[in-house]
Structure 1
Amino acid sequence: MVQSRSSPAVRINLTPMQIPEAVPGAGLAFTKPDSMDATAQSLVLHPGEPSEMIVQVQNLEQRPIRVSIKVEGNFPVDWCQIGTEGREIPPRGQMDAVLYFTVPASFFEDQQAIIPGQKDKLNLDFRSLVAIAIDSGTDAEQIQHSDYFNLYVRPHSAYMEFLPVLYREVDFIGRFMKIFEQAYQPAIDSFNVMWANLDPLTAPKALLPFLAHWVGWQIDSVWDLDQQRRLIRRAVELYRWRGTRKGLRLYLHLYTGLPLDEDIANETDKHISITEPFGPSFILGTAQLGSAVLAGGQAYNFRVCLRPHHPNIHLNEQLIRRIIDQEKPAFCTYELIIENFSN
Structure 2
Amino acid sequence: MTLARSSPLSLEVIPMRLPDADPELLHHDPLAPEGIPLMLIPGEPSQLMVKLGNPGEHLLNVTLEFRGNLPQAWYSCERENSEISPGISQDIIIEFQAPDDFFEAFLALRENSSLRINYSGRLQVYGARPGTVSQLIDVADINFYVRPQSRYLDFLPQIYREVDFVGRFLKIIEETFNPDVQMMASLFAYLDPLTAPQSMLPFLAHWVGWELQSYLSLEQQRSLIRHALEIYRWRGTRRGLRLYLHLVTGLPLDDEVEREEDKHIAILETFSQGLVLDHSILGQDALLGGGQPFHFRVHLQPDTPGSVDEALVRQVIDQQKPAFCTYELQID
Give the TM-score taking structure 1 as reference length. 0.82
CA shift in 2, pair 1:305/1:229, >3 Å: same
Aligned equivalents of 2:125, 2:106: Cα separation in 1: 32
AA aligned to 1:73 is G
Aligned equivalents of 2:25, 2:155: Cα separation in 1: 18
Give 1:305-316 correspondences, 5 Å limit: 305-309=299-303, 311=304, 314-316=307-309
Aligned to 1:4: 4
Aligned equivalents of 1:96, 1:284: Cα separation in 2: 93
Aligned to 2:282: none
Using the TM superposition, give the Cα deviation of residue 338 of structure 1 relative to its aligned residue in structure 2, in angstroms.
Answer: 1.5
Are the counterparts in 2 of residues 5 and 13 from structure 1 also a CA contact under 8 Å?
yes
Aligned equivalents of 2:206, 2:84: Cα separation in 1: 75
Aligned equivalents of 2:11, 2:305: Cα separation in 1: 69
Aligned equivalents of 1:19, 1:90: Cα separation in 2: 32
Pair 1:58 & 2:57 matched: no
What is the RMSD computed on CA atoms of the aligned residues?
3.1
Aligned equivalents of 1:11, 1:284: Cα separation in 2: 105
Q: Secondary structure at the match of 2:43?
A: coil
Aligned to 2:124: 131
Using the TM superposition, give the Cα deviation of residue 111 of structure 1 relative to its aligned residue in structure 2, in angstroms.
Answer: 4.3
Aligned to 1:31: none
Give 1:42-53 correspondences, 5 Å limit: 42-53=37-48
Aligned equivalents of 2:155, 2:246: Cα separation in 1: 50
In structure 1, list runs of 5 or more residues that go unmatched: 29-33, 286-290
Pair 1:121 & 2:125 matched: no
Aligned equivalents of 1:171, 1:150: Cα separation in 2: 15
Q: Secondary structure at the match of 2:58?
A: coil
Aligned equivalents of 1:208, 1:152: Cα separation in 2: 49
Aligned to 1:336: 329
Larger mean CA deviation between 208-217 and 276-285 belongs to 276-285
Aligned to 1:172: 165
Aligned equivalents of 2:23, 2:169: Cα separation in 1: 14
CA shift in 2, pair 1:294/1:59, >3 Å: closer
Aligned equivalents of 1:201, 1:22: Cα separation in 2: 47
In structure 2, list runs of 5 or more residues that go unmatched: 279-284
Aligned equivalents of 1:5, 1:284: Cα separation in 2: 108
- Which deviations, in whole Å up to 9, do the C-alpha atoms of 1:56-111 show, x marking residues without a partner? 23335442221111222222222222124961223354332110122332333334
In structure 2, which of residues 101, 106, 113 is the aligned counterpart of residue 106 of structure 1?
A: 101
Aligned equivalents of 2:106, 2:164: Cα separation in 1: 20
Pair 1:256 & 2:244 matched: no
Aligned to 1:288: none
- Which deviations, in whole Å up to 9, do the C-alpha atoms of 1:213-233 show, x marking residues without a partner? 001111112222221111111
Q: Secondary structure at the match of 2:136?
A: strand
Pair 1:70 & 2:69 matched: no
Aligned to 2:275: 282
Using the TM superposition, give the Cα deviation of residue 193 of structure 1 relative to its aligned residue in structure 2, in angstroms.
Answer: 3.2
Are the counterparts in 2 of residues 23 and 44 from structure 1 also a CA contact under 8 Å?
no
In structure 1, which of residues 218, 224, 235 is the aligned counterpart of residue 217 of structure 2?
A: 224
Are the counterparts in 2 of residues 84 and 96 from structure 1 also a CA contact under 8 Å?
no
CA shift in 2, pair 1:87/1:314, >3 Å: same
Are the counterparts in 2 of residues 24 and 171 from structure 1 also a CA contact under 8 Å?
no
Q: Secondary structure at the match of 1:260?
A: coil
% same residue: 44
Aligned to 2:36: 41
- Which deviations, in whole Å up to 9, do the C-alpha atoms of 1:191-250 show, x marking residues without a partner? 233233222222222211111000111111222222111111111111122122111111
Give 1:289-300 correspondences, 5 Å limit: 295=289, 298-300=292-294
Q: Secondary structure at the match of 1:212?
A: helix
Are the counterparts in 2 of residues 125 and 152 from structure 1 also a CA contact under 8 Å?
yes
